[in-house]
C-alpha cells in the first residue's frame, strides 16, 4: 500500500506540473523551467523559475537583438518609454513558465509552438499603449507582412509610418493585434501581469494560470486534490510507525 502511494504521488504531481510549469517549444526557450540567478534587468523577476537563459535575457534588451533580429526602430527610433514595454513583453514571452494553458502547436519555420489569447491585465496594456501612442509604426500585425530582404524587418512598400495611436486606436488593439492575438485584453482580475509592481510576483501569474487551467478543463479539481490527499494518507500511514519506534 505504501509502495503504491510512493509510486502514484510523483505521477499525480507530474500531470499537474505539465500545464502549470512548462516552457513552450519556441525558438529560444529552455526545455524545462528552472532557476536562473543571472537574469538581466527587466527579465529579473523570473529568476526563481524561468524558461529563458541569462543569455536570452541580455539579448532581449538589445535593438535588432540576435533573438529574432527584430527592428523596433522601423519608423524612426522608438522612444525609451515605449521600448521598455516591448522589452518586458519579450521577457514575459521568453521567461514565463506559466503560459501552459495558452500554448498552441503551430509548426512554423521558426517555432513549433506559440501562445494564443493569454489574458493580459488591462492596466499593463493601457500603460503600454499610453507610453507608445506618440511613437510611429507602419503595421498593426508585427508577426506577418514585413520586408525581411535586408535580414531585419522593414516597412513593406505599400505601408506608411503613422502614430501608434492611429494604427492601434485602443489599448486593446495594441495588446491583441500586435502579435496576432498572442494576448487577449481583459478587465478581469484573473489576468497575467507583464510587470510586477505593488507586491505582484510571478507567483501571481502562476495562480492565474491555475485558475484558467481549471476553467479550461486542462486539469481537474480531483487532479489537484490528489497530491494533498496522498500526502495526508502518507502522513497517516507513517505516523503510527513513527510513534512505535
Ligand atoms: C546567446 O544567445 C544568442 C541568441 O540566441 C545566440 O546566438 C548565442 O549563441 C548565445 N550565446 C551563448 C554563449 O549561449
Ligand atoms: C520542438 O519542435 C521541434 C520542431 O520545430 C521538434 O523537432 C522537437 O522535437 C520539439 N521538441 C520537443 C521537446 O517537443
**Ligand 1, atom 14: closest residue by C-alpha:** 55
Q: Which atom of ligand 1 is nearest to the CA of 27?
A: 5
Q: Which atom of ligand 2 is nearest to the CA of 107?
A: 5
Longest dimension (CA), the chain: 82
Q: pLDDT digits over 59-105, tens only?
A: 999 988 888 889 999 999 999 999 999 999 999 999 999 999 999 99
Our mutation pick for probing the ligand 1 site, out of 27, 54, 55, 69, counting the most ligand atoms within 8 A of Cβ, is 55
Q: Which atom of ligand 2 is nearest to the CA of 111?
A: 5
- Exposed, middle or buried, 92 (CB in 10 Å: 0-12/13-18/19+)? buried
Q: Quick one: three-class SS letters along 75-86?
A: CECCCHHHHHHH
75 vs 234: which has the higher pLDDT: 75
Q: How far is the CA of 29 from the centre of ligand 1 (A)?
A: 12
Which residue blocks in 115-220 are alpha helix, DSSP H?
122-132, 164-167, 171-177, 202-215
pTM of the model: 0.83
Amino acid at each position: 500500500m505504501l509502495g503504491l502511494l510512493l509510486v502514484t504521488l510523483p505521477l499525480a504531481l507530474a500531470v499537474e506540473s505539465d500545464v502549470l510549469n512548462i516552457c513552450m517549444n519556441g525558438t529560444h526557450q529552455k526545455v524545462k523551467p528552472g532557476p536562473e540567478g543571472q537574469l538581466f534587468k527587466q527579465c529579473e523577476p523570473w529568476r526563481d523559475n524561468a524558461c529563458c537563459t541569462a543569455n536570452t535575457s541580455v539579448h532581449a534588451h538589445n535593438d535588432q537583438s540576435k533573438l529574432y533580429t527584430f527592428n523596433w526602430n522601423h519608423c524612426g527610433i522608438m522612444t525609451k518609454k515605449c521600448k521598455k514595454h516591448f522589452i518586458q513583453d519579450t521577457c514575459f514571452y521568453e521567461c514565463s513558465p506559466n503560459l501552459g494553458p495558452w500554448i498552441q502547436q503551430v509548426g512554423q519555420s521558426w517555432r513549433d509552438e506559440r501562445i494564443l489569447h493569454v489574458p493580459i491585465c488591462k492596466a499593463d496594456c493601457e500603460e503600454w499603449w499610453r507610453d507608445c501612442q506618440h511613437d510611429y509604426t507602419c503595421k498593426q500585425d508585427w508577426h506577418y507582412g514585413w520586408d525581411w530582404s535586408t535580414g531585419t524587418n522593414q516597412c513593406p512598400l505599400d505601408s506608411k509610418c503613422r502614430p501608434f495611436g492611429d494604427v492601434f486606436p485602443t489599448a486593446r488593439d495594441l495588446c491583441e493585434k500586435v502579435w496576432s492575438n498572442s494576448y487577449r485584453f481583459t478587465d478581469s482580475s484573473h489576468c497575467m501581469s507583464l510587470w510586477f509592481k505593488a507586491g505582484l510576483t510571478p507567483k501571481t501569474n502562476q495562480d492565474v494560470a491555475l485558475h484558467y487551467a481549471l476553467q479550461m478543463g486542462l486539469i481537474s479539481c480531483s487532479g489537484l486534490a490528489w497530491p494533498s490527499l496522498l500526502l495526508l494518507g502518507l502522513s497517516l500511514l507513517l505516523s503510527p510507525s513513527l510513534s512505535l519506534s
